[in-house]
Each structure stands twice: as structure tokens, then as C-alpha cells.
Amino acid sequence: MTKRPKHLTFILIEINSQRMWKRKCHRHCRKSRALCEYPGGSQVAIADIQGCPRQRCRLLAMGLTPGTRAEICRHNAGSCCLRVRNCDLILGEDMAQYVMATPVQDQDRQTA
């Protein structure tokens, strides 16, 4: 039996009497921020998807896989518009907080 990678480890946390799943943080995700924290026009690379397995599966099915580049188009009241693989996606703030991303410039420096 093989060990599960650290990426698949979830912990259950409780905030304001509300339970939610959160993935354990690993090194390459410590520099990342939630997608809803970036200003409009930012170029980012998806680093990780957090949340419960159901939310994670839904976001992965939309094409938000780790390593994918995206552009934040704009933020409206309660929503985040982004362009991924030549498609426009609009995520609510509650879903956008589970998508962790790093600025593209930082990731380019690491690979060079």
C-alpha cells in the first residue's frame, strides 16, 4: 500500500460554528494567495485547489488545474471573472477563495 501524497491530506476546521474542509499546506502553496485577492488584470498560475472534495472536483472539471495560467479580468460585487484557456469563467467569492494562485512572474523565476 502506497502512502497518500501530502497534497491529498484534508483537515476539518471550524470557523464561527461553520465546518469546512481545508487542505494541509505544503511548501509551494505557502507563497500562493486566494484568487479573489488578486487585482483585475493580474496574470496568475493556479497552484492548488482547496476545499472539500466535492468543491475541488467541480473546480478541476472547470479547467482550474494546478499549473494552469489564468488572467483575472475583473472583480464585481461578490464575483471574480477570469480567463482560463481562452474561456471566461465567473466564480463567486466563496468559490474563488478555494483557488490558490501565484503571480506568473514569481513562477517564471523559480523555473529559470
With a threshold of 0.75, does the pTM exceed it? no
Per-residue pLDDT of the chain (112 residues; tens, 9 = 90+): 444 344 545 666 666 666 666 655 555 555 788 888 888 888 999 998 888 888 889 999 999 998 899 999 988 888 899 999 999 999 988 888 889 999 987 445 455 4
Distance CA 46, CA 34 (A): 10
Q: What is the pLDDT of residue 44?
A: 92
Contacts with 49 (C-beta within 8 Å, 6 or more apart), sequence order: 55, 56, 59, 60, 64, 66, 98, 99, 100
**Cβ atoms within 10 Å of 82's Cβ, excluding its own:** 25
| First-to-last C-alpha distance (Å) of the chain | 36
83 in Cβ contact with 91 (< 8 Å) = no
Distance CA 76, CA 44 (A): 18
Domains of the chain, first to last: 29-111 (2.30.30.90)
